[in-house]
Structure 1
Amino acid sequence: MTTHTDDVAIRTYGPGHVPALLGTLADIWADAHPELVDTPGGTTDGLSTDALRRQITGHARREGFVLVTAYAHGSPVGFAYAFPATPEYWYGPDLLPHIPEHIRTGRLMGLCELAVTPTWQGHGIGTRLHHHLVTAIAPQWSSLLVHPDNPRGRALYDRLGYTYAGPYRNEPGGPVYDLLVLQVDKAA
Structure 2
Amino acid sequence: MTTPSTRTDVVIRTYGPGQVPPLVDTVADLWADAHPEIVDTPGAASDGLSVPALRRQVLSHVSNHQEGFTLVAAYAHGSMVGFGYAFPCSADYWFGSDLVPQVPERARTGRLMGLCELAVAPPWQGQGIGTRLHAALLTAIAPEWSSLLVRPDNSAGRALYDRLGYRYAGPYRNGPDGPVFDLLLMQVEAA
Report TM bin, short chain.
over 0.9
2-side partners of 1:30 and 1:85: how far apart? 26
Identity %: 70
Partner of 1:109: 113
How big is the shift at 1:38? 6.0
1-side partners of 2:70 and 2:92: how far apart? 20
Partner of 1:30: 32
2-side partners of 1:43 and 1:174: how far apart? 11
Q: 1:130-149 residue pairs with structure 2 within 5 A?
A: 130-149=134-153
2-side partners of 1:18 and 1:136: how far apart? 15
Q: 1:14-163 residue pairs with structure 2 within 5 A?
A: 14-37=16-39, 42-44=42-44, 45-61=47-63, 62=65, 63-163=67-167
Give 3-state SS (helix, strand or coil) of 1:60's partner.
helix
| 1:172 maps to amino acid | P
| 1:88 maps to amino acid | D
Structure 1-normalised TM-score? 0.93
What are the ranges of 5 or more consecutive residues in structure 1 without an aligned counterpart? none
Q: 1:172-187 residue pairs with structure 2 within 5 A?
A: 172-185=176-189
Structure 2-normalised TM-score? 0.91
Dislocated runs of 4+, deviation >3 Å? none
What are the ranges of 5 or more consecutive residues in structure 2 without an aligned counterpart? 1-6
1-side partners of 2:40 and 2:156: how far apart? 21
Whether the aligned pair in 2 keeps the contact of 1:38 and 1:48 (CA below 8 Å) is no
Q: 1:74-97: CA deviations, max 9, x gaps?
A: 111000000001001000111111
> Which of 9, 12, 15 matches 1:10?
12
| 2:12 maps to amino acid | I
CA RMSD of aligned residues (A): 1.3
